[in-house]
Amino acid sequence: MAVIRDVMPAFDLLQPTTAADAQKLLEQHGRDAWVLAGGLDSFDWLKDRIKKPKVVVDLSGVDELRGIRTASDGGVEIGAMTTLTEVVKNPIIKQKFGLLAEGAELAASPQIRNQGTIGGNVSQDARCHYYRAGWPCYRAGGNICYADTPEGRNREHAILNADRCVAVNPSDSAPALIALDAKFVIRGSKGERVVDAEDYFIGPDIDITHLNILRPGDLLTAIRIPGTWAGAQFFFEKIRDRNVWDFALLNVASAMVVSGGNIERARIAVNGAAARPLRLRAVENAIVGKPRNAATGEMAGKLAVEGAVPLQFNAYKIPLMRNLVKRSISGVEVATWAS
């Protein structure tokens, strides 16, 4: 097991003032560079001396990466360095996209939300205790998953889509952004590209060492939420061991448009069930045209957990996920959460 220390390894601290300069620095230093946003995930890695970058690129001085702006299509653009508190309190997000406000507010404590950024929340690394403690697992470049062994402790780990690594994605805002059909704006060496929120996250079948598509030289600059789902019926629920400052065992986010009591269109995503946030496309297709009631929710919940394979200590996640999906469809609308 890794020896935990309080003294961080030495590194060069670079503090650009523009996104262009930040991206150039990341490109110049490649795998030796580390992006510092709010720092909450970063300082854990650095103080424990598990990650030892030669260069840390601090984004705190890049003003263009902050703020929430309205878009011509009725949506919003959120700078990647915008704090979770700003997201929660923004009147436009509260009014139109309460789903994201709900998810962001459930991320940790007020103090952490004051410092943590939306870009950092969606880009944080896995919280598996073996991986974070420096064990040489698959995700760390080794050849074993310690959580998926007869002696492994795996209460928080995946029940779906595991491929060697069974660690899960820890973000609370991620499923909300997927349900809202958000787009992630990434600046790289070849210019800017925009990807769907659900494609930003990847599982171990694609790359076992990363939870997202960012590569050396890439910089997440903004998140765009189109007006497509503005004012829809929203539902967000997070299950955790403690009511504050804790990561989700499972969470669910749904956005629905209901007409005449029937579901006209829907997007549903869960996190904590797999290495990446999962959009439940089969569930979405199954509920379109059906009433938003308990019967539809019951059917959807059963469909959502098909193929789930529990580990030794996390079988509880199957009924938990089934019931979360059920409530996301038949539960109380939370679009009026924002006053």
Q: Which amino acid is at 25?
A: L
Residue spans of the domains in the chain: they are: 1-61, 69-123+168-337
Q: Indicate whether this model's pTM tops 0.85.
A: yes
CATH architecture of structural domain 1-61 = 2-Layer Sandwich (3.30)
Q: Is the pLDDT of residue 309 over 80?
A: yes
DSSP string, 241-283: SSSSS---SEEEEEEEEEETTEEEEEEEEEESSSSS-EE-HHH
Q: Which CATH class is domain 69-123+168-337?
A: alpha beta
Beta strands 262-271 and 278-279, pairing class: antiparallel
Ramachandran region, residue 39 (left: φ > 0; alpha: ψ -120 to 50; beta: rest): left
- Give the C-alpha separation, 111 to 244, whole Å: 11
Give residue-wise pLDDT tens across range 242-263. 887 899 999 999 999 999 999 9
Give the model confidence (pLDDT) of 90-130 as tens digits.
999 999 999 999 999 999 899 999 999 999 999 999 999 99
Q: How far apart (Å, rounded) are the C-alpha atoms in residues 154 and 234?
A: 31
pLDDT tens column, 217-245: 999 999 999 999 999 999 999 999 988 78
Residue environment code for 42-64, b if the CB has 16+ CB neighbours within 10 A, otherwise e: beebbebbbbebebbbbbeebee
SS3 string, 17-60, reads CCHHHHHHHHHHHHHHEEEECCCHHHHHHHHCCCCCCCEEEECC
Please write the tens of the pLDDT for every residue from 253-302.
Answer: 999 999 999 999 999 999 999 999 999 999 999 999 999 999 999 999 99
Over range 311-322, report the average pLDDT.
97
